[in-house]
Amino acid sequence: MNKTAQEEVIEVVNKLFIYTDYRQWDNLLNEVLNDVVQFDMSSLGGGAPTLMKATAIRDAWNEGFNGIDAVHHQAGNYLVNFPDKSHADVYCYAIALHYKQNATLGTTREFVGSYNISVVLTNKGWRIDGFKYNLKYINGNVELK
């Protein structure tokens, strides 16, 4: 069965979260991220928006999840807009749960927010070339200590 462009775009966004949760970094680079991504995590104190190589994003996330036993993203409420045939703008809600078994102040932290994700059609298929996280709130043991 052939997928629509909207289904393909949503699948790429879902792969972003699934591959990150399972730390499948090669799949993230090969199937999800464009070589360079407009990256904005400023709502979490991540500094000003910047252009980042996909490999730098992978390295930062790999390091950031070091010592965390499990990560779980859940996304939905997708709104997809196609300004033209080779670009898509995706808005979605998402939560991220981080679990650390030996944390003494609580084993979980929860991030609740939304994403604005830009997706571009490349010769390798749809790839994320823009990523902005919009934090609503954090709950639980924020430092996982």
Let me know if residue 46 belongs to a domain.
yes
Sheet holding 70-84, edge to edge: 50-53, 33-40, 125-140, 108-122, 87-99, 70-84
Domain that holds residue 50: 5-140
* Distance between CA atoms of residues 110 and 24, nearest Å: 21
Residue 88 sits in a domain whose CATH number is 3.10.450.50
Let me know if residue 79 belongs to a domain.
yes
Let me know if residue 85 belongs to a domain.
yes
Let me know if residue 112 belongs to a domain.
yes
Using one digit for the tens of pLDDT, what is the confidence trace for 58-95? 999 999 999 999 999 999 999 999 999 999 999 999 99
Confidence (pTM): 0.96
Let me know if residue 145 belongs to a domain.
no
Contact between 80 and 116 under an 8 Å Cβ cutoff? The reply is: no
Let me know if residue 30 belongs to a domain.
yes
Let me know if residue 89 belongs to a domain.
yes
Provide the number of structural domains found in the chain: 1
* Distance between CA atoms of residues 120 and 125, nearest Å: 8
